[in-house]
Structure 1
């Protein structure tokens, strides 16, 4: 019981200083990754049970956050101020992937091109949790914060089909299902959105009718919303689609219908959603980070740093060409594309379909990217946000 007692006590202590820490170079993801690593090094991690817990939490976290992040998107703001986030999503994602593939081909010469493409796709999604100090900082202009919020909310869901397709191409030929991996991936990517949009929109309409009839309240709306995310995931899997894609598209359709009428979506993300995210970072630190860090090689480190410092910034800079984003804004957006839970969870999602040696290499590279990004983006988030606010104020 010792590790659980330590974690509970740590949560109590962290909650008493969390607000003050948010203005420093220490972020919650950094702290909980560090706690997980400390528990591992102290021999306090029950390996078998924790690995099972990590996979379960990874799936639950991914389903819930994909649904709620998409549901929280400001549809009206996106409609009237869409240039920056749409450009970063529609142009920035393909450019990040293409640049990452080329960089991986150059820096990982012994890797098959399909495996390099998978790594490039896994390193595309960004994490709002690691950039929370920027998004929540009132010194940063509202339009800039909204653009980063929309991009980080939709980025992981839009990158997921790309990850699935690359995983299909990277899987060993003998493991291909009937019809081949291409048809399998296409079926998952196509059926998932159909199921998700249908269930999400229906759930949103049902919620509005229940509110109009005064047949529900905030507490029960929250339970129904989480159950709706589960419905999207499970229904898509039942018809051969991808449940994670369905959760994301279902959340987007649900948010488009309810238009802010479900307070739970925002309250959960700011409270219980943070606890879920912290738990995932804790387990990553306890289970995967020590082994991944010990296997970090110079080529892997080079690819991670090039991805963070060059590929994402250049892709975002090019994607915003022709808009009213000034050079400072382009550079700011380009740097704040931290790799976090989505990168780790997507890697965990696909490694079981790969050969054992490549699965370990892909997972370790992804986890190393996460903790390195957590450190670099965490340390720079608050000071750079304040500096940027002064420059644009």
Structure 2
């Protein structure tokens, strides 16, 4: 019990300190997720030893559920941050990124896992699927804040945000496909994907989320007209809606992350955006309050000894995933996306691996009882948080200057 409260105290203190220094931090080449990860490392077994995961009982199960709730709240924030008109105007690039783009990133990640470690094809596909989605939590540190608002065009921010929010739920299908084929057999697993995963886990999740978000949006509008709702209640309402979507989807065996995103989109469609959302930076508040503790937990649970046993191959694999997985997919899709070389470089690099990979990797490890999945996935997450954390501010400012310079006078 003492470890529980100590972990809560360290996580809360991290949120407070990073919140109090958020202004200066935006000017430095470090991100909040990177700093939170460093806090977990410093306080964990390899550092001061304050956090001792071996005394938590089931540390991976705790981290998995923390990651699930973090993702649900984060994708809700993404859905609220992106204007609905942007989703409609940018539907072509978003559909390409969420369709062929997602499949290409899965293929590259899986191929690298197979080449680097000689994993069985289905196991490599499972690991590759966990590493495929771009992370909304780390991406939020790139597209939010004063620097991003000043330097990044709204179109670029919307594309990165919407993609990172939607592909976390869609990746559920990619993760379950190889897992079911390994545990149930190839034919039975594929049949289960067609008859259960797609209609129940995905489509039903969208229906549940959209219904909950729509009902909440209608209720909010009615409450506003009758003077029942205070303006300051929006943040708590959105967080509660995310948790309700996760719980509702989980109750029927659906994907809670996708349900949360659908609920956010439906809610965003029905509320008065000018009056309710733009005056209150929901995503910024959510990032500071709810998403940083999961990186503290991750820092304390990083498998250093297992990394060392893998040697340099693991580091090369992690770097290869970040350098090839998304940049290669974007490069192949440039003719269809119809974007400039500058945009292709920016979108190609800033597709971080984070909480989504943590959740899916731990889910795969729990299903297969294979610790190698967490060892490899956690290395990619750590390297991504480090590299994307130190390149976010300089990259955003460089992209912003070039984008402004390219605009016609």
Q: TM-score normalised to the size of structure 2?
A: 0.84
Residue 112 of structure 1, CA deviation: 1.9
Query: The residue matched to 1:325 in structure 2 has which SS?
Result: coil
Pick from 363, 370, 374: which aligns with 2:374?
363
Query: The residue matched to 2:281 in structure 1 has which SS?
Result: helix
What does residue range 199-348 of structure 1 map to in structure 2 within 5 Å?
199-258=212-271, 260=273, 262-263=276-277, 267-290=281-304, 293-348=307-362
Cα contact 1:218–1:264 (8 A) shared by 2: no
Cα contact 1:313–1:335 (8 A) shared by 2: yes
Deviations 1:32-63 (A, max 9, x none): 11111111122211323382653442232122
Residue 323 of structure 1, CA deviation: 4.1
Cα contact 2:131–2:357 (8 A) shared by 1: yes
Cα contact 2:109–2:128 (8 A) shared by 1: yes
Cα contact 2:71–2:137 (8 A) shared by 1: no
Deviates more, 1:326-335 or 1:98-107: 98-107
Cα contact 2:39–2:296 (8 A) shared by 1: yes
Gap runs ≥5 in structure 2: 405-409
Distance 1:81 1:361, change over 3 A: same
| Number of equivalenced pairs | 387
Distance 1:247 1:39, change over 3 A: same
Gap runs ≥5 in structure 1: none
Distance 1:287 1:106, change over 3 A: closer
Residue 244 of structure 1, CA deviation: 2.9
Deviates more, 1:92-101 or 1:237-246: 237-246
Residue in 2 that maps onto 1:372: 383
What does residue range 24-103 of structure 1 map to in structure 2 within 5 Å?
24-40=28-44, 41=46, 42-47=48-53, 48-49=55-56, 51=59, 53-103=62-112
Query: The residue matched to 1:29 in structure 2 has which SS?
Result: helix
CA distance in 2 between partners of 1:30 and 1:293 (Å): 19
Distance 1:384 1:143, change over 3 A: same
Residue 372 of structure 1, CA deviation: 0.3
Deviates more, 1:34-43 or 1:248-257: 248-257
CA distance in 2 between partners of 1:7 and 1:229 (Å): 21
Q: TM-score normalised to the size of structure 1?
A: 0.87
Residue 65 of structure 1, CA deviation: 1.9
Residue 107 of structure 1, CA deviation: 2.5
Residue 217 of structure 1, CA deviation: 1.9
Distance 1:5 1:321, change over 3 A: same
CA distance in 2 between partners of 1:273 and 1:133 (Å): 8
CA distance in 2 between partners of 1:280 and 1:55 (Å): 9
Distance 1:165 1:256, change over 3 A: farther
Cα contact 1:3–1:39 (8 A) shared by 2: no
Is 1:160–2:172 an aligned residue pair? yes
CA distance in 2 between partners of 1:346 and 1:332 (Å): 26
**RMSD of aligned alpha carbons:** 3.0
